[in-house]
Chain A
Amino acid sequence: MQIKLSDLPYGERAVVREIRTPAHDLNCLGLRIGKELKMITKQPIKGPVVVLLGELEIAMGLETAEQIVVETGTDA
C-alpha cells in the first residue's frame, strides 16, 4: 500500500517509491527511491519527522515528508 511518509506510523518500515519535492536535497542525504526506511520519531504540532535508513538518521519537516510516497508491507 502506498502512503505519504508523513502518514507512516511510528516504528513502521516502508520503501521509498516517489519523491515529489526537488529530490536533490534528500538524495544527497542518502534518501533515494528504492531505499527502505523506518519511522523513528514523529513530533506533535506538525513537528519534524525522523526516519532511519540503515545507519543513518534523517530529520525533515512535515511538509517534506508529505511529498514523499512510501510503500508499506514490502520486504524489499
Chain B
Amino acid sequence: MTGRTDRSPEAGTVVLMIGNPNVGKSALFNRMTGANAVVSNYPGTTVDFTSGTFIEGGHTYTIIDVPGTYSLEPRDAAEEVAVRMLRDYPEATVMIVLDATKTDRGLYVALEVMERGMPCIVAVNMMDAAHEKKITVDIAGLQRILGVPVVSTTATSGEGVRDLAEMLRKAQVADIGAIAQRLRGEEPEHESVRTCGGCGGCGGC
C-alpha cells in the first residue's frame, strides 16, 4: 500500500527505513512485511514510499520503506521524500540500513539521522555480498561505538531478519557526543545504563 500511513493507535510504532540507495531497503521491507515492493539492482528504484505492517512480540509495527538518500540535505525529489518523512513522523523509530560492503558511506546519513534524536536501530544488510568479497564488519564494535543496536542481515536469504524484528523494540536514541568520545578512545562519563558492553549477542541490553 502506498500513500498516507494510518496514524491511529492500532498502527503501533512507525518504523522508517532510511539508508543510501541500493542497499536493500525494499528487499528487507518485503522480507519483514510479506509485501511485494519493487526491488531491482538499480539505485533509486523506490521514489515514493511504501508502507506495511507486521506484528512482533504482540506489538504492531508500521514500517515505511523510504526512498534511498545519501544525506538529509536533499538534492533530488526522492531525497526530499526521505527528509519529509523524517519531519512528518517525529515519534517514529528509524531503522538505518547500511550496505555491509560500503558501511562508511552509509554511516554519513546514519549519523545525520542520529543527530535528530530519534530512536534508531542499524541493520547492516547485504552480508552475503560482504562475505563474497571477503569483507568483515565488526558488528559488536559498531554497536559499542554507536550505542544503538546493530544487527547483520541478508535480506535476500532472510538471514538476521528475525533478529532485526525482535531488536526493534530495543531501538535507542544515540548520543552524538558520546559517539565522538568513543571514537577518540575516551569512554563517556555517563555511559547509558541501557548500553551494554557491545558483545553483539543481544543488541543492547
The segment from A5-13, A20-28, A40-48, A68-76 that touches chain B is A20-28
Closest to B105 in A: A30
In whole angstroms, what is the CA distance A2 to B169 when docked? 50
Contact of B101 among A24, A28, A55 (CB under 8 A): A55
Verify if A29 is at the interface (C-beta below 8 Å from B). yes
For the complex, what is the distance from the CA of A27 to the CA of B111, rounded to whole Å?
A: 13
Check A55 against B71 for contact (C-beta < 8 Å). Answer: no
Q: Which residues of B contact A54 (CB under 8 A)?
A: 102
Whether A30 contacts B104 by the Cβ 8 Å rule is: yes
Task: Determine if B71 and A30 form an interchain contact, defined as CB atoms under 8 angstroms apart.
Answer: no
Check: B70 CB closer than 8 A to any chain A CB: yes
The answer on a CB contact under 8 Å between B133 and A30 is no
| Interface residue range, chain B | 10 to 19
Are the CB atoms of B109 and A28 closer together than 8 Å? Answer: yes
- Return B113 CB to nearest CB of chain A, in Å: 12
Q: Are B102 and A29 in contact, with the CB atoms below 8 A? A: no
Pairwise interchain contact A28-B133, C-beta atoms closer than 8 A: no
Q: Which residues of A contact B70 (CB under 8 A)?
A: 28-29
Q: Which residue of A lies closest to B108 (CB)?
A: A28
Min C-beta distance of B200 to chain A, whole Å: 23
Q: Contact residues of B with A, CB < 8 Å?
A: 70-71, 73, 75, 101-102, 104-105, 108-109, 133, 135
